[in-house]
């Protein structure tokens, strides 16, 4: 798996340019598919070609058994209609988050002129976001702590439109970001009241944190929470300046704007996908960079271990 560290475009193209057999061997080497597999009869299995039909599969070595299994049985690639190399290439584009659908389809054009369908790209992007969701289920986000500052803020993704078409219900997101790090949380909420926001603070911000917010009344109860939070409030309509650095403090507001821009670009106001895109945004803040492919496929491997 360490080979996936520092995976840039050149290295990715080198891998997907390998023959199918060599790419299979490389996937086994890095632990993405099994090297050895046991048959239900207890015998060892080997990967063999299907013959003139092409493709490969696991076949039991015991002559009296000869049971067969798909070569990707139990792996992340099981039942995939795309080739493993295409899935790997799509994972690179997803990690980078910079390619549009048309750019992906152009880059992945096959020798016969065909390319991956838009639906397939969307489906696999959803599968990668599922990996994000599984990661945060196992490792829930809790930020801050003693000596740490957490900025909290609220934002509206959709505002009501008057006099032009139907009115759109407002969708609020609420979250916090740990000062000096990329760690953050975002939560979609229906009603940004104190009854909604204070439990979210307890769930996602560690005790002992200094919590920085605007003057919204919903935050007034922070100092009454039982876990020793320190609350600092300021008017965001004026310049809020860090006395040590002299820089303007608007980290949370800036972070939400980045999410809102990416959300509008990728999925508009589709509410059913909102949580999925929030998890993707949080995952990329934690793992984007030179080793993004390493982190993604390590997490995939933990969910689909090569046995």
Q: Judge whether residue 182 has pLDDT over 90.
A: no
Task: Give the list of residues 6+ apart from residue 203 with CB closer than 8 angstroms, or none.
Answer: 142
Establish how many alpha carbons lie within 13 A of residue 99's alpha carbon, considering only the half-sphere containing its beta carbon: 20
Q: Print burial letters for 175-210: b (CB count within 10 Å at least 16), e (below 16).
A: bbbbbeeebbbbbeeeebeeeebbebbeebbbeebb
Using DSSP, state whether 38 is helix, strand or coil. strand
pLDDT confidence of residue 292 = 96
246 phi-psi bin (left φ>0, alpha ψ -120 to 50, beta other): left
Residue 90: band (very low, low, confident or very high) from pLDDT cuts 50, 70, 90: very high
What phi and psi, each to the nearest 5 degrees, are found at residue 38?
-95, 140
Task: Count H helices and E strands in the chain, helices first.
Answer: 9, 11
Which of 27, 144, 123 has its CA nearest to residue 80? 123
Q: Which domains does the chain have, with CATH numbers?
A: 2-138+291-303 (no CATH), 143-287 (3.30.420.10)
Mean pLDDT computed over 276-284: 90
Task: Give the list of residues 6+ apart from residue 294 with CB closer than 8 angstroms, or none.
Answer: 1, 2, 4, 5, 7
Residue 278 neighbours by CB distance under 10 Å: 22
Tens digit of each residue's pLDDT (9 = 90 or more) over 109-137: 999 999 999 999 999 999 999 999 999 99
Q: pTM for the complete prediction?
A: 0.81
Q: Please, are residues 262 and 255 in contact by the beta-carbon 8 Å criterion? A: no
Strands 205-206 and 143-144: parallel
């Amino acid at each position: 798996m360490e080979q996936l560290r520092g995976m840039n475009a050149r290295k990715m193209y080198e891998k997907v340019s390998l023959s199918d057999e060599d790419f299979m061997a490389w996937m086994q080497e890095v632990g993405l598919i099994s090297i050895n597999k046991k048959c239900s009869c207890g015998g060892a299995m080997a990967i063999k070609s299907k013959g003139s039909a092409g493709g490969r599969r696991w076949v039991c070595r015991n002559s009296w058994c000869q049971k067969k299994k798909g070569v990707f049985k139990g792996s992340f690639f099981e039942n995939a209609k795309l080739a493993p190399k295409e899935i790997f290439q799509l994972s690179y584009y997803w990690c980078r988050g910079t390619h549009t659908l048309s750019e992906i389809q152009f880059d992945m054009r096959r020798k016969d002129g065909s390319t991956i369908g838009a639906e397939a790209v969307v489906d696999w992007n959803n599968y990668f976001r599922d990996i994000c969701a599984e990661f945060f289920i196992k490792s829930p986000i809790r930020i801050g702590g003693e000596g740490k500052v957490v900025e909290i803020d609220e934002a509206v993704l959709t505002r009501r439109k008057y006099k032009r078409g139907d009115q759109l219900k407002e969708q609020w997101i609420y979250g916090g970001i740990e000062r000096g790090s990329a760690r953050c949380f975002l939560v979609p909420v229906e009603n940004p009241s104190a009854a909604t926001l204070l439990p979210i603070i307890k769930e996602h911000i560690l005790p002992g944190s200094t919590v920085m917010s605007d003057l919204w009344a919903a935050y007034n109860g922070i100092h009454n929470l039982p876990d020793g939070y320190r609350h600092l409030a300021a008017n965001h309509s004026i310049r809020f300046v860090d006395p040590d650095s002299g820089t303007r403090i608007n980290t949370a507001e800036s972070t939400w704007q980045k999410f809102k821009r990416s959300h509008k670009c990728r999925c508009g106001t589709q509410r059913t996908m909102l949580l999925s895109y929030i998890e993707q945004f949080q995952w990329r803040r934690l793992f984007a960079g030179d080793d993004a492919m390493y982190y993604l496929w390590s997490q995939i491997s933990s969910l689909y271990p090569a046995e």
